[in-house]
Structure 1
Amino acid sequence: MIPTITFHGAAGCVTGFCAEIRTERSRVLVDCGMFQGSKTLKALNYQPFPFDASEIDAVLLTHAHIDHSGLLPKLMRAGFTGPIYATAATKALCEVMLEDAGGIQEGEVRELNRRNQRRGRPLVEPIYTARDAKRLMPQFQTVKFGEAATIAPDLTAIWWPAGHILGAASIALDIEGEEGLLKTLFSGDLGPGGTEFVTEPESPSGLDHLIIESTYGDRDRMVVDPAARRRALAAEMRDAHAAGGPLLMPAFAVERSQELLSDILAVMESGEAPAGDVFLDSPLAIRATEVFLDRGWNKSSGRNPFEALHQAGRLRFLGKPAESDGLERLKGWHVIMAASGMCDAGRIRKHLKRLLWRREATVLLTGFQAVGTLGRLLAEGAERVSIQGDEVRVRARIRMLDTYSGHADAGGLVRWAQAREPVAGTVFIAHGEPNAAQGLSARLTAAGFAPDRLAIPRLDETFKLRRAGAETQPAGPARIDPAATARLDWHNDRARLLLALNAALDSAADDAAREALLQRLLEDLKKSAPVDRDQSAPAGAQAS
């Protein structure tokens, strides 16, 4: 048979990357990530896989981020028993990240079930548990950069440094098919170029097919060296200090937290930023930091740039919930870093509820914010937000600093793709919101790539991989409306409606005006049949 590729995730959106390669003798996945963003998109996490997990021979993992690895325990529970190939650093990070993800799901489901019992609604269960994540780890097999690994009789893979996070890789996959050997390359998530923290991306050229990410496919960022990046961070810290309150930093627990902490301590030590206590309030980031201290050696710089975190006097690790709760008593200048980076889970939500309404507080966003996430709403200037059912007025200073992004910008993606030429077949543009994917397509066309050889896959779309180019195949029923993958959904609209209603009631002239407004709304609602069911299950929960 002609080999095929099916995009089961990160198609029309940034998260949930999962590509299935099928040949006459084997079926493998490249990544098996968790969807993040709107609740409609996250609902895919607890739906059945669109394939039989027991028939998957192996998983090839690019890196440890949850949107690439987060559904691996679910895959195991669904019947997958094969090996998971990954670099040693990726395996070490997955060991802490997947267990943490399972624990978060268990905690959120416990809270949801308490509410459901009070409301007489069905109980739910986590998609997987921390114990499931531990059971998965023996299936990992480590690979070394640059060394070929035989995945199946007709599949050979080589992992190449992607420059994104510790252990991150692009994967070159050679596929034996009817037309001979097909050379394919999965970019994984590409870094912005070599820094003191990560190495320069490397990959082979001369391909038949290329799969490239497009997170920032429509955006150029200012190129800065490490010193300039620290100066920009120090300026934000000085402004936050001048505002009179704390600096709250939502940050991705792996790589971003460690890089930011290293630079925060450096600018405090140099006097570029005001000194103060720095709290890392994320059990996952704390455990991940141990991996970075152990495996963060950078061959380019000849040192481990994270060593400063080992004995930093100002840095406090808050592992226990009681330690986190104690931050509520602090006044004045200090820095709190907590996960998640998109403000969608973890302890950051508690701190946002406590600080967003305070004018003296500063919230500094340092990474990509997917559509539908609380972080994206804050970045786009929301004046009121709903956090865990509570309405919060946004008075804090909301700032963004994109010099710490772990992704290449549009120019970097084009240069990386050009360095992979010639590409005889198709360039698949994935892992991006529609505007980003289309923007990268336009830039690649301007750079000389033939437009008819560029494809932007839809979710679950399958292509036959021929040497001369890919052929799309008839699609089955869509798991989700393609237009819903990268937009605000009805859950977001409901939250906006409730916030707008409260604002209108607050600003109404008197009680009579408030009663009239509510009566008009109630009359409209009576036209629709009420449905008493829970539509607010967290990502990672499913009906039992």
Structure 2
Amino acid sequence: MTITLQILGAADEVTGSCHLVTVGDYKLLLDCGLIQGSWRDEARNSDPFPFDPASIDAVILSHAHIDHSGRLPLLVKHGFRGAIYTHKATADLCRIMLRDAAYLNEKDAKLENRKRERKGLRPIEPLYTIQDAEAVFPHFQTLDYAERLEILPLAALRLMDAGHILGSALVELWLHSGKHDRKLVYSGDLGRSGMPVLQDPAIIKQADMVLLESTYGDRLHRDWDATRQELANLFREVTAKQGNILIPAFAVGRTQEIFYLFAKYFDEWGLGRWQIFLDSPLAIEATHAYAQNCDLFDDESSQLWRQHRDSPLLPNLTFTRTPEESMRINQIHSGVIIIAGSGMCNGGRIRHHLKHNVWRRDCHVLISGFQARGTLGRALVDGAKHIRLWGETIRVAAQIHTIGGLSAHADQAALTHWYAQFDPRPPVVLVHGEPVAKAVFAEHLRNTLAAPVCLPRYGETFDLK
């Protein structure tokens, strides 16, 4: 009986996770994410799937981030009729995030079609619509952590806490092959131990093959104490200069982690002297979803969020939902902290705030997460002297601070420790990493653990038998 794993996304890049598992006559997808990055990268989202969506029996969704969930509306639109198995909190977040992604698709298509109409060109269709996104929601079937479920006649599933974002899951998949089962473990995005808010990633000890992310496989994060001190120094320095701070932040995960840190160190970091704005409707909704699921947090974070269920987490925090409210922020030239999406600066309101601030020497931009190749955020991290926004060239005079210690992804040491718990060492297939990071991590695993490592090409198939 056939048991195979085919890599159909995130092979030599960080985004677009999508992996096809075949067991006998049944087909399962592990994630179905959007490709993010340059416009050339994102144009690939419109390409046909390399399989018939109607032939897929089920999807297992590791977590809600768009690079793992964002093509689900296309999958359903083109014929998928099965169940999408995921954690309840992930389903809650996806209802927010997929609607938001669809809204942006419709908005972008509308703006582009205005230009095309003036040029006499045919209009384009959005990648998918809000209606397409909402068609996904009836397919969700949710599981609790550690609950084992037979999802198909030849497959059983268990989700364990990945510690990455709310509801993120490690996937344990038992595949029945007649005489012997084969167990595939998929990391999704692996979180970090000892970080604020979420529980530490679960440890799994047995697998026949491991599909492992490698986002930071070539580096070590700054430890938490050093990161906390770095943030404290930054807020003291900028307060003295009366500048503004821009924080491009992922709406789900990073924003809520920043809020927790701001609440815990509010007095120590002198945050009462600032006006703090969360300028992202998506992040506002996601923050409410976090508050409703705080039983999944670690003990300290859960207690803090429960205390603020009926009161603001920060006394000087303002949620700005409308474009008019967002535009008014840019009339303030000092003393504001603006948290806005997108986290890689490729869209959203952060670009407007960059336009009004990044050319000023008293502006500070705090980069708090991974920046994919081809994104505006990556250009800022790499030291760009000028950026382009809406056809205008803007000088970068702001100070750019990269706070690597806030990352929600495990670094090389944490990835190695997590994999090292498997006994004996199963073959490990590295995905969700840029080529250099993957190659460095592969060599590290071979040298330190004698691990059998595979660096897959797009479309490559592995036989689990």
TM-score category (smaller protein): over 0.9
Q: For 2:270 and 2:296, how far apart are their aligned partners in 1?
A: 26
CA RMSD of aligned residues (A): 1.6
Partner of residue 438, structure 2: 437
Change in Cα spacing, 1:299 to 1:349, as seen in structure 2 (3 Å) is closer
Q: For 2:34 and 2:21, how far apart are their aligned partners in 1?
A: 19
Shift of 1:122: 2.9
Partner of residue 289, structure 1: 287
Q: Secondary structure at the match of 1:269?
A: coil
Deviations 1:348-375 (A, max 9, x none): 1111111111111111100000110000
Q: 2:333 aligns with which of 331, 338, 344?
A: 331
Change in Cα spacing, 1:364 to 1:128, as seen in structure 2 (3 Å) is same
Partner of residue 354, structure 2: 352
Partner of residue 375, structure 2: 373
Relative to the length of structure 1, the TM-score reads 0.82
Amino acid at match of 1:441: A
Amino acid at match of 2:437: A
Deviations 1:126-162 (A, max 9, x none): 1111222122111101101111111111010100111
How does 1:106-255 map onto structure 2 within 5 Å? 106-177=106-177, 180-225=180-225, 229-255=227-253
Q: For 2:178 and 2:35, how far apart are their aligned partners in 1?
A: 34
Q: What is the percentage of aligned positions where both structures have the same residue?
A: 39
How does 1:307-456 map onto structure 2 within 5 Å? 307=306, 308=308, 310-311=311-312, 312-424=314-426, 426-450=427-451, 453-456=452-455
Q: For 2:386 and 2:181, how far apart are their aligned partners in 1?
A: 56
Shift of 1:6: 1.0
Q: For 2:276 and 2:362, how far apart are their aligned partners in 1?
A: 18
Q: For 2:155 and 2:322, how far apart are their aligned partners in 1?
A: 45
Deviations 1:177-220 (A, max 9, x none): 26621011001111111434011111421211011000000001
Q: For 1:434 and 1:183, how far apart are their aligned partners in 2?
A: 27
Relative to the length of structure 2, the TM-score reads 0.95
Q: For 1:243 and 1:379, how far apart are their aligned partners in 2?
A: 22
Aligned length: 461
For structure 1, the 5+ residue unaligned runs are 467-544
Shift of 1:4: 1.2
Partner of residue 471, structure 1: none
Contact 1:238 1:274 survives alignment (8 Å):
no
Q: For 2:410 and 2:11, how far apart are their aligned partners in 1?
A: 18
Amino acid at match of 2:419: A
Change in Cα spacing, 1:290 to 1:305, as seen in structure 2 (3 Å) is same
Q: Secondary structure at the match of 2:41?
A: helix
Deviates more, 1:121-130 or 1:296-305: 296-305
Q: For 1:388 and 1:65, how far apart are their aligned partners in 2?
A: 26
Change in Cα spacing, 1:421 to 1:390, as seen in structure 2 (3 Å) is farther
Contact 2:227 2:403 survives alignment (8 Å):
no
Q: For 1:423 and 1:149, how far apart are their aligned partners in 2?
A: 26
Q: For 1:298 and 1:284, how far apart are their aligned partners in 2?
A: 21
Partner of residue 503, structure 1: none
Shift of 1:8: 1.1
Q: For 1:194 and 1:164, how far apart are their aligned partners in 2?
A: 12
Q: For 2:381 and 2:120, how far apart are their aligned partners in 1?
A: 37
For structure 2, the 5+ residue unaligned runs are none
Contact 1:268 1:275 survives alignment (8 Å):
no
Deviations 1:366-411 (A, max 9, x none): 0000110000000000001112322111111111111110001001
Q: For 1:383 and 1:394, how far apart are their aligned partners in 2?
A: 5
Deviates more, 1:304-313 or 1:199-208: 304-313
Q: For 1:421 and 1:331, how far apart are their aligned partners in 2?
A: 57
Is the radius of gyration larger for structure 1 or structure 2?
Answer: 1
Change in Cα spacing, 1:234 to 1:121, as seen in structure 2 (3 Å) is farther
Deviations 1:30-49 (A, max 9, x none): 10010111222212111111
